[in-house]
């Protein structure tokens, strides 16, 4: 594209428990960056959709082909020189390892918030049914990303715009330096 975004990742995966704001934040972040927004749920095989529709929880065996389909999409986007923001819960490290598969140009954005705050938001969410107990089980499953994954972690106790600002700031630690020759500051 000939711009100065060479150091930016080609894909950001917005992760967190159900109701943490993945779809909302990933969509808004994609608009801000002028990248493509994708909801990871769209990559479930038909068998998973059928299982979830019948109210049965997915097992990890069900999840591997889904996560692999998202990883394949990430590879396609990056190879094509495109950029995408993908919403995907990615609660466990093993799930994220499938998505990232060693790429340094794919970064996680972890939406960090308390169970109390998220329960309040879910209670107000329209058009979605959330079985009681699901949020608690999501928190039990959650393995927050640690420093070895180089995540962008943001507090969700803020407005959507402020959260997106925070992510963009962490993505570009020193925007003033972008596109300018490196200076020796010593």
- Contacts to Mg ion by CB under 5 A: 22-23
Q: How many CB atoms lie within 10 A of CB 5?
A: 14
The answer to whether 28 contacts ligand ATP (rule: CB under 6 A) is no
Nearer to ligand ATP, 78 or 117 (CB): 117
Contact 4, 71 (CB under 8 A): no
CA 93 – CA 144 distance, rounded (Å): 8
113 binds, options ligand ATP, Mg ion, none, Cβ within 5 to 8 A by partner type: none
Mapped onto helix, strand or coil, the DSSP state of residue 181 is coil
Compute the least distance from the CB of residue 22 to Mg ion, in Å.
Answer: 5
Q: How many residues bind ligand ATP (CB under 6 A)?
A: 16
**Local structure of residue 11 (DSSP, 8 states):** E
The answer to whether 121 contacts ligand ATP (rule: CB under 6 A) is yes
Q: Is the dihedral of CA 172, 98, 41, 136 positive or negative?
A: negative
x-or-dash string of contact with ligand ATP, 129-168, rule CB under 6 A: ---------------------------x--xx--x-----
């Amino acid at each position: 594209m000939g711009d100065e975004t060479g150091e930016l990742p080609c894909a950001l995966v917005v992760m967190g428990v159900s109701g943490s704001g993945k779809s909302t934040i990933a969509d808004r972040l994609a608009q801000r960056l002028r990248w493509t927004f994708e909801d990871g749920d769209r990559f479930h095989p038909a068998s998973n959709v059928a299982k979830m529709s019948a109210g049965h929880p997915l097992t990890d065996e069900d999840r591997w082909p889904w996560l692999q389909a998202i990883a394949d999409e990430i590879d396609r986007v990056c190879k094509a020189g495109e950029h995408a923001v993908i919403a995907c819960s990615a609660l466990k490290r093993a799930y994220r390892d499938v998505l990232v598969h060693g790429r340094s140009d794919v970064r996680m954005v972890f939406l960090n918030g308390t169970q109390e705050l998220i329960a309040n938001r879910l209670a107000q969410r329209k058009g979605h049914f959330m079985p009681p107990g699901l949020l608690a089980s999501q928190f039990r499953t959650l393995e927050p990303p640690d420093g070895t994954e180089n995540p962008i972690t943001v507090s969700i106790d803020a407005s959507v715009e402020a959260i997106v600002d925070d992510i963009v700031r962490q993505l570009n630690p020193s925007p003033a330096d972008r596109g300018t020759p490196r200076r020796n500051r010593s």
